[in-house]
Amino acid sequence: MEKILEVKDLEVSFQTYGGSVKAVRGVSFDLHKGETLAIVGESGSGKSVTSQTIMKLIPMPPGKITGGQILFNGDDIVPKTEKQMEKIRGKEISMIFQDPMTSLNPTMKIGTQIMEGLIKHQNMSKQAAKTRAVELLNLVGIPMPERRVNQYPHEFSGGMRQRAMIAIALAANPKLLIADEPTTALDVTIQAQILDLMKDLQSKMDTSIIFITHDLGVVANVADRVAVMYAGQIVEMGTVDEIFYDPRHPYTWGLLASMPSLDNDNKADLAAIPGTPPDLTNPPKGDAFAARNQYALAIDFEEEPPMYQISETHFAKTWLLHPDAPKVEPPEAVKKRMRQLSSTFDQAVLMKEGK
């Protein structure tokens, strides 16, 4: 499959009064055409910063890309100027934000907000853009689009605004869509509708999607692959099956154990991960998760673990995969669903630095 995006060793930091916050610390992943990658992780783990950096939307300054590459269709985005980025944003890569209540301009008609991108990227006339805006509203399932184009955001419900946001994002047929928690602010039934809509549109337009969420339940429905982020790093990455049925990283275990499910509605079983993420101004020596990890080994406080490869598609960054590491049992809630996957290597393979 064709690779549309390759992120290599990306590092982003923010200059603040308290020092420099290392929000993204060496993130690497890639994305194929038509594929959906979910990025999950706690609040503050760097999901939004990672994804916004792909469009260079983080405020610079205080933000700065301190290392790495972002290859979009083989072309590095990092050195590009604002003017060059304007041709990529909205046309090649689009973004949907978390809160549909605040991400639309309250004093501009919905139609105009959709038309802007069309006029900019597809050189459409006002009239043509308006016709297309009506089509797009129809496409995202907004009834009476001819009337709705002329309305303002406050006349839309939350779910409809998010549909309008999707229309804006898809207006210029982008090849990559980044959805940063697009359903978190919506209630459950609307969430499901929006997810269905996104999947439906993806299959029609063959868009690749990066889907950010901290709800693992959503992930199973939308994603092909999952990247688990912790403290600015990807600590485990694999296909949905690999992450759900054969997780290797204790942080992933923690996330899975704290996920509500039908057969697990007993509150006591929902173990939240204890403690808080580390301060990214001074990331700890060793593994960033060690202090919160009940399985932590002595080496975890000394040296950062390398990435191990468990299958063609499955990677985890934990010392537990070291051949000499003691065998540990994941928590009960996770163990219940563990199964042997056929693709798994016999032995975890240590990956060379900077693969």
Partner 1 sequence: MAKYIGKRLLYMLISLWLIITATFFFMRIAPGNPFTSEKQLPPEIEANLNAHYGLDKPWYAQYGDYLLKVVKWDFGPSFKYKSQTVNDLISEGFPVSFILGMEAILLAVAFGLILGIIAALKHNKWQDYTAMIIAVAGISVPSFIMATFLQYFLAIKMGIFPVARFETFMHTILPALALASTPMAFIARLTRSSMLEVMSNDYIKTAKAKGLSQGVITVKHAIRNALLPVVTYMGPLTAGILTGSFVIERIFGIPGLGAHFVTSITNRDYTVIMGVTVFYSIILLASILLVDIAYGIIDPRIKLAGGKKGE
Ligand X SMILES: Nc1ncnc2c1ncn2[C@@H]1O[C@H](COP(=O)(O)OP(=O)(O)OP(=O)(O)O)[C@@H](O)[C@H]1O
> Strand 63-72 to strand 225-230: parallel, antiparallel, or no bridges (unpaired)?
unpaired
Distance of alpha carbon 123 from alpha carbon 129, whole angstroms: 9
Which one of 11, 99, 215, 224 is in contact with partner 1 (CB under 8 A)? 99
Distance of alpha carbon 68 from alpha carbon 251, whole angstroms: 25
What distance separates the 2 farthest-apart alpha carbons in the chain? 68
Within residues 159-178, the interface with partner 1 by CB under 8 A covers 165, 168-169
| Of 250 and 330, CB closest to ligand SF4 | 250
Surface-to-core class of residue 218, CB atoms within 10 Å of its CB (0-12 exposed, 13-18 middle, 19+ buried): buried
In the bound complex, what is the minimum distance in angstroms from residue 155's beta carbon to partner 1? 8
Does 126 engage in binding with partner 1 (CB under 8 A)?
no
Decide which of Mg ion, partner 1, ligand SF4, none touches 293; Cβ closer than 5 to 8 Å per partner kind.
ligand SF4
* Beta bridge pairs of residue 20: 15
Residues in touch with ligand SF4 (CB under 6 A): 249-250, 287, 289-290, 293, 295-297, 300, 305, 318-320
| Of 230 and 244, CB closest to ligand X | 230
In the bound complex, what is the minimum distance in angstroms from residue 19's beta carbon to ligand SF4? 24
Distance of alpha carbon 273 from alpha carbon 26, whole angstroms: 24
Does 107 engage in binding with partner 1 (CB under 8 A)?
yes
Distance of alpha carbon 287 from alpha carbon 131, whole angstroms: 54
Q: Which residue ranges make up the site for ligand X (CB under 6 A)?
A: 14, 16, 21, 23, 41, 43-49, 59, 62-63, 214, 280
Interface ranges with partner 1 (CB under 8 A): 55, 57, 82-83, 85-91, 94-95, 97, 99, 102-108, 113, 116-117, 120-121, 150, 152, 154, 165, 168-169
